[in-house]
Every structure is written in structure tokens, then in C-alpha cells.
Amino acid sequence: MQSKATLNAPAAPSIEFSQLNKLIQKQREFFNSQATFNLSFRKEQLRCLLSLIKQNEQVIGNALYEDFRKPVFETFITEVGFVEQELKETLRHLTEWAKPRSVNESLFNFPASSATYPEPYGLVFIIGPWNYPLQLVLSPLIGAMAAGNCAIIKPSELTANTSAVIAELIRKNFDEAYLAVVEGGMDTTQHLLQKRFDYIFFTGTPQVGRLVMKAAAEHLTPLTLELGGKSPAIVTEDADLELAARRIVWGKFLNAGQTCVAPDYVLVQEQVKEEFVMFLEQNITAFYGADPAISPDFARIIDDRNFRRLNNLLTKDNIRFGGQTDRDQRYIAPTILDNVTWTHPSMQAEIFGPILPVLSYCSLKDAIKTVNSQETPLALYFFSSDHQKQQCILQKAHFGGGCINDTMSHFVNPNLPFGGVGHSGFGSYHGRASFDLFSHHKSVLHRGTWLDLPLRYPPYKDHLSLVKKILVVV
């Protein structure tokens, strides 16, 4: 990796809007040729992408370090390695996923059989965020490719170096009539959203998600929104407090807290709060040293605007641990906030940075009520050794997904569909769920011709009584 970060990379150049129109037309013509319907074609393209990622691990890592000093280890487990595993999983199971899926038939349709047939939507538009600029662009792309779609990718302009690498790899190795990367700013995204796509996949904030959804509505385009929210970690008095603190510190400060499923705040039972906070402080020091600013394992804030936003949350009277900042390096230390209420600035919106408010609660009922009174979070993390309490959380708290006695690890399992609810988004992906997301599943009944029961045909006579008798049987 490079030893010094380029913290102010130049913005990616915008493409001429007239070229975008031609590109969309070219992709639609290619899709209409049905070349992508061929399963061998899909596998060949996925294998090509896997090979490219493997061959360019160092280049990708350098770009991520230049963008916001992403540590080498975090780059692999959350970006490169994650994408490689997703590709391998898809290639391993794609033949099975693409088969028609039989369903039980109704007695009224005898003799018949029914099945669903997955087919690609067509032209997919994927809008990526900056916090995991490789993974959160390529992971949905893998699903789109596996399902047989063409795709236009719009990576974030905030991670200009990583976006440039993605663009170069795609442009040099794939026909733009099949896959294309469009770099540029918000104006480029807005222009593309005015065009008709067959599916849109957006990862980002709820504020921008609303704009994407409005644009999709103009063309009745189906879409997935992967958003965020204030994801809580709830710690009970019977939890393993040291283990809970270690796993929450890891989940919170990974990527300097710039993770959509990071624990946004902690609700800890009041009688163990002081002991728990002590464990939080110990684990931050164990992970990043006495001065995290010189740790090679702690990332930086993505840009000046986000640095200012986060810095404004650091009210002096509430800093329990950390709080050091360096504007020139866009550094904010891993920070614990204490004596915080829901009126504090840090509790008004998703933090998306290395600042962790710790609040207390009396009973589990109170904690659940607090969580459910807010917008539905993308994730929830519950720490307790009591099975009944675990079941209570699963039954009564509303959230997109999460973990019991861990943080963020549910995101890694390709067999667990990942997605939000309401304010935190809708639509789920990863593994087979990604293939299904980017496929339209045609429902088809195959009716036999060797028998044609007259029950449904006029004149009906006494048919109704017979139908009611059949309903009793089925």
C-alpha cells in the first residue's frame, strides 16, 4: 500500500449527456439480442470479473487507501474478499438458481403443473455509495449479471480513485453494450434517472433515496433502495459485557464508523452501564493504541463536509472518551458520548462516523419501546445470554436484519438476504436473493390436453354445489 494518502483526489469527469443516450440505446439493443439469456455467457462474464478482481487486488487497495486511508485488512475483508466470495458463490450455484421452480398445483386445474421461470429485467442502473465503493457497486452488479441483465454503473464521485479503477477495469474488459461505468457528479446521476431503465438499485441515504424513487415512478421502474438509519445495539445486564464491548467496538469503528449497518448507538441496562463503558474504552485502546491517529488500522473521514458534520456532534460536555480531531487529515478519534438524550445532535440522524453515544434503559420493555418509536433501523444487535430475552427481541423489535451477540456479521453470510424496512430501504440481496432480485419470475401453468373437465364451463346448472364439495375436500 502507499504510505501516504491523497486526501483530496480530483473529481471524476462527467460524460456528455448525448453519449449517455447512445449508451442506453446500445445496451437495450444488445439485451434485445438475447445474448445475455445464455447461461454460459453469464458464467463466462462472471469468471472474467472474478479474475479481474483477483489480478488487481493491489491496485484496488491502493485506490481505497488514497481515497480515505482504508486499512489493508479492512479492504480485503469488506471489499475485495467479499466480492470474490460473492462471485464464487454465484458461479457455484447459478445453474440451480436459473432453473424453473415447480410449485404445488391446484386440484381445480387438474391435469396441470405450474412453475416460475426466472428471466432478466433488461437494463439495470446501479448507483453506488462512497463508504464501500467497490463492494456496494459490484455486489449488486453480480446479481444483475447472474440474472442475465445489462447494466450501467454509477460509482460515487467522492471516492474518485476507486471509481476510476472500477471504470478502467470494466471499460477494458467488457463490451459497453453489456456493462458500462459512467463517472460524474450528481448532475450525471440526475440525468440518468430521467431515462427509462428496467430496474434501479440504489445504495445511499434516505434523502437521496426519495429522489431516486420519485424518478423511478415516472417510468414505473421497479427498484431496490438500500438505505440506513440509526441501528441500535442493546446490551442487557446478563450479557458477557467484555465480549459485547469488543464486538460493538469492532462493528462501530470499522471503516471509521462509515458503515450503513454499524451500531449507531448503544442502549445498555443502567445497572451495568459504567462497567460496560469501561470495557468499551479498554477495547478501543487495545484495537487502535493510545493514539489512534497513528494507527495503521483506522480509516479517515471521506471528505470535508462529512468531517464538519461529525465534528459538530462532538459537544464537549458529552465526550466520555476520545474526541480528538485533525481537520487537515480528516481524522476523528474513536469517541464515546455519555449523558446523551434523544434531543442531542448525535441522536437526530444516522451518525455514519466514529462517534458512539451510550444511553441507558431500565427494562427490556423500555428498550424495545425506544427502538420501535424511531424509524425502522437497517440493523439491530442484541447482547444477552438469556434465550427468552433473545426471543422477545426477535418477536417485538422491528428492524431489517441483525445479530444476537454480535455486530454486522449477518451481512457476510451470502445465504441471508440483506435489506431494510421502510425508512431503511426495501428489497433484499446477496447470494440467491441477488439473483431473484434482478429476475422477473414468470408464473406459468402447463395444462394437459388429454382431459377437459366441464366443471368451469356454462351452462353451470348444479356446478356450484359440486365446487363447494370439492372445496371441503381440499
CA atoms 383, 385, 389, 394: torsion sign: positive
Burial of 263 (0-12, 13-18, 19+ CB in 10 A): buried
Do the Cβ atoms of 324 and 311 come closer than 8 Å? Answer: no
The continuous run of DSSP H or E covering 320 comes out as strand 319-321
In a 3-state reduction of DSSP, which class is residue 102?
A: strand
Cα 331 from Cα 299, distance rounded (Å): 8
Do the Cβ atoms of 150 and 30 come closer than 8 Å? Answer: yes
In a 3-state reduction of DSSP, which class is residue 358?
A: strand
Cell of 473: 375436500
The separation between CA 441 and the C-alpha centre of its own chain, rounded to angstroms, equals 22
Cα 275 from Cα 261, distance rounded (Å): 25
Cα 153 from Cα 127, distance rounded (Å): 6
Cα 306 from Cα 63, distance rounded (Å): 20
* Amino acid at residue number 339: N
Cα 76 from Cα 79, distance rounded (Å): 5
Which of the residues are catalytic? 226, 260
Q: What is the largest CA-CA distance in the chain?
A: 88
Cα 21 from Cα 458, distance rounded (Å): 54
The continuous run of DSSP H or E covering 8 comes out as none
> How many CA atoms, within 13 angstroms, populate the side-chain half-sphere of residue 196?
7
With vertex at residue 182, the alpha carbon angle to CA 176 and CA 187, rounded to the nearest 5 degrees, is 145
Helices (H), 254-303: 273-288
With vertex at residue 41, the alpha carbon angle to CA 37 and CA 43, rounded to the nearest 5 degrees, is 110
Q: Is 406 left (phi over 0), alpha (psi -120 to 50) or beta?
A: beta
Cα 34 from Cα 26, distance rounded (Å): 13
How many CB atoms lie under 10 A from the CB of residue 48? 13
